[in-house]
Amino acid sequence: MNNTAKKSKKKKLLVDNEEDHVVQSQPKKKKKMKVEVETTEENDEEVLVLDHEEEVEQKTAKEENQDWNKEDYNELIKRMEEQIPKNDTKSFTKRAELLDWNLVKFGNHSVEECQEKWKIMRSKVRHFRLLSEVLQDAKVWAEKPWSAPFNKKKTRHPEQPPRPLSSFMLFYMDKKDKIIKKHPNLKLTDISRIIGEKYKAMSDTKKSYYNQRALEMQKEYRQNLAKFYEKYPEYNPTTRKQITKSNKPLPPFKLYLKEKLKKHEQDEGFDQHEFTEKYKEMWRSLSFKKKAY
């Protein structure tokens, strides 16, 4: 009796364990299947979204281009290129704004339409620069590291001697700091006016000191400039003119000024600006016969 009961109880436990195992394993299997189904649905949704976006983009592009063909766009590009000045240094957006769109428009296309198509084109191309493109500009710069090759402003060669100061500028530099210290609130224009008045009132004896200094600096400058042009002939304006331009006859006044310059350029205290202004007045007072001679 006891043995039979024990066997029956043992058999029942085995059955219960098997059922428990089946019950416990089934949810895991269902959960796994559920995840797979959810992932598949998400992928399907993502594909549908991408397909929809692509369809919208294609539809938009078709609507934008329905009245323009490839030839129209190429003509617009060509006309815009023709309006870009040589050595342009402005950003593409600023340059596009400055274009004369009345010269860009063509056929039956208005200024507004051409500008609108340009905006569409602009939105479809990249605006950043690749490293390879920047390095091409860097190669140009490396030829003259002191320069700014893509800037309109000319850059002086670092070895080119600076122009010497005139007698007035030497006087100005001597007096400027003293006047600023005495009158700290004065504007630069007022300071220049005061120094100019002092220079005009100065005696010839005192002026001769500054004239002599200016003359010495002028001689030193010419010597240094000659050495510079010998080392870098491409920077010599005379050489450049001979290469790029044919010799044109000088106008009468320049011939007259050149003749006078030969006689007076070595004079003590020579000032190019004052000299030119003086002989301009003299040229105006000459008779027609003397000018013709």
Torsion angle of alpha carbons 85, 91, 92, 96, nearest 10°? -60
> What is the spatial distance between Cα 6 and Cα 33, in angstroms, rounded to a whole number?
41
pLDDT at 119: 93
Closest CA to 241 of 254, 250, 252: 250
Q: pLDDT at position 34, please?
A: 43
Do 126 and 65 meet the contact criterion of CB atoms below 8 Å apart? no
- How far apart CA 24 and CA 18 sit, in angstroms, is 10
Structure token digits, residue 21? 């195992």
CB atoms < 10 A from the CB of 278, how many? 13
pTM across the whole model: 0.39
Can you read off the two tokens belonging to residue 88? 């342009």
In angstroms, rounded to a whole number, what is the distance separating the alpha carbons of residues 189 and 135?
A: 45
For the chain of 293 residues, list the mean pLDDT of each consecutive stretch of 10: 51 49 47 44 51 51 67 93 87 91 92 94 87 84 69 72 92 92 90 92 92 94 92 78 58 80 75 79 76 62
pLDDT of residue 112: 95
CA distance 207 to 23: 116
Residue 105 C-beta-side C-alpha neighbours within 13 Å:
12
